[in-house]
Structure 1
Amino acid sequence: MRTIDLRGQKLSPAGMLAAVPRATQARAEALETATRIVDDVRTGGEDALRAQAEKFDRVTGHDLRVPGSHIDDAVAALAPEVRSALDEAIVRVRRASTAQVPDARVTDIGPGARITQRWQPVQRVGVYIPGGKAVYPSSVIMNVVPAQIAGVEQIALASPPQHDQGGRIHPVILAAAGLLGITEVYAMGGAGAIGAFAWGVPGLDLDPVDVVSGPGNNYVASAKRAVAGVVGTDSEAGATEILIVADAAADARLIAADLVSQAEHDEQASAVLVTDDAALAERVAVEIEQAAAATRHSERVAVSLAGPQSAIVLVDDRDMATAFSNAYAPEHLELHLTDAEAAAAAFTSAGAVFVGDQTPVSLGDYMAGSNHVLPTGGQARYAPGLGAYTFLRPQQVISYDHDALAAVREGVVALANAEALPAHGEAVEARFQGAAEGTTTL
């Protein structure tokens, strides 16, 4: 893992980003392929999905629409300790998601003039759960629970068919869906699944959804871009990222463990440490070499940590560390600082902030109650992580009576004429024509 020394340099946000570039080439290459796969599903429906399953998943003849008995079997076979953990995670995510649903608010603009701000859930959601290098029942919870809390009436779930499961979805993913009462489940993966949700598949009785959510690889993220405008999507979650800001008092062993924990996701994962203490940087370098070699997915971790997207970054002071983090806008930000609670307010751009060395990202992945579907690639500068609000539409309800309209009558007409849209003003004046003729009184 390389060390980059930025001390003594006056860098703009762009200059800081250039020091640790993200792995973007694979995403760019994936867009063309993902668009083609989505189009194949739009025109070919079930036949296209089966062809893709054979090509990408080595599965044929499977149930594209999962029978309810498969879900029941998976729930029955779930290991007790895994079920207990899933049940607890569901409770915690429900509690946190409930706080994300705004109450309706009424604003009285003037006598007889009222605007109600309300939040309406979308009707139908498609949740995608990946099934490649790891199994993600936790992602079932992170996507389904917020949609349920938002009030979504129809939730469909898709995950790739597994060759070693006889074409079924991984049983732990199916079990998580069963625990949440999801019965509309499809064994389809990757960009094809995103296309199926966006356009629907009549042969499977799969109706188009309003919003697609869920993590995935570069092809899934690119497919979301391909269907944008047809359906709503959450953020284009790509390869995972962790950035740790640490001071001299931080524990190098814990920092190394947390960097490795995210690097095991994918060879393109980004693992970055930012510190103003050179001695800590040296200790972390030693610890991370040992931790990376000892972990189960050591080869994958080694590729991630050796990539240009991962580094130990030396900075002059806390202000520079804060500026670097806010420019980078990581998916996951950990603060290993002696004053972490007080310092957290200054770190404004991150998908989620993990405060103190006893709050690792892996806690957020499973049991913290926060959501682990978060913006990557710097999107945290302007986009939130997934939550109940992902499935809600803010809506304004306007109510004016005759007197309230009369109070702004002249202003509407003046602005309509100024914009060369006289019919706008005439629509208002039509409401007062009766008064001039003696049939209506103000």
Structure 2
Amino acid sequence: MAKPRVALLITTWFPNSHADVLARRLITGYELDGPHREPQVEVVAAYLEQRGVTRPAPQPDLGTGFLAEHGVPIFPTVAEAITLGGTGVAVDGVVLIGEHGDYEDNEFGQKLYPRRRLFDAAVAAMITGGRTVPVFVDKHLSYAFTDARSMYDDARRLGIPLLAGSSLPLAYREPTGADWRHGEPLTDCLVIGYGGAEVYGFHALEAGQALLERRSGGETGVVAVQAWTGAEAGRIAADPTGPIPAALITAAAGAGGFGETRELIERATDVYLVEHADGARQTVLMTDAVTDFLVAARGPDAAVAYRIALLGEQPYFFPHFARLTYQVERLMIDRRAPYPVERTLLTGGVIDAAMRSRAGAGRLETPELAIAYRGPEQIEGSAVALPLPQS
């Protein structure tokens, strides 16, 4: 059986960028629970919008040379990448990596990545060519929920299999196999994370959503979002009557090897509160005190806490992206998403609302986030149930 032919739509490609750790694997293969695995797709075309970046620091272009070395032509437009410079849809799938690049920030601190523009150009080429193919969008669908919803609705209307999201829900965990029992009632979930309020806040929220969607009744949607930043975030995190249950901070801190929580709270940068329609609540504590993502959750009869282990450049070369590459391949081969894209649609809407709340809007009611779905019991190819690899 021939491998699905794939077109890459990439904003920029420099060392250790998302294109470098994902597109590279789609072209040359990767390690996944054993010896080197040959790619299960054939990358036949690329659109590369920027050659390297200048901000926040100059980074060299790797994409042009790497693609040429592996015989992948770069086309000047999205449409030509999908038609291979001819007519009709000449590929069997599209991988959109719209992360990194010299793009402006808006007034809410969101990077204006052109994911919807690239997606719409791909869809237009499919409509013109008379055939639709699966699309994967790296991380959230768009910085703006209205755009993300449009992308989601267009995919459903046109029968385009759509997958999106990050690698965090697929990564190794300590302790091994820690997760919320599928169908167990859940009341509160906390994720402690680090990094930029939007770019890493999304990661923290999606890591929590991957756990929340397993609760009894599945996901019911989000009714309100509120965010605090700076000194106010530290005050909110330290308040014993505040939105973050102290017991969850203690549990998450323990999973990360912290003997006490004072440093986590004192170095807080942002706090997000997410209220779900069924009464479940998710909180995110972003802090400069951690270099991992820590998760703790509780319900009437159960509790769990774990560290998400994002192994670095050497000797592993970010193995959580190998897990994501596997899911992209499954999408292209099976022509269906291996887990619900609604997880990312909802999380993207939450981080959009959080950034607006953070900018001074206070508590925002979110009727647009009435997105209900059920999470899978398990995802083939994830590392959740696997022990950390030994160096």
Q: TM-score range by the shorter chain?
A: 0.3 to 0.5
From the CA coordinates, give the structure whose radius of gyration is larger: 1
TM-score by length of 1: 0.33
More helix by share: 1
TM-score by length of 2: 0.37
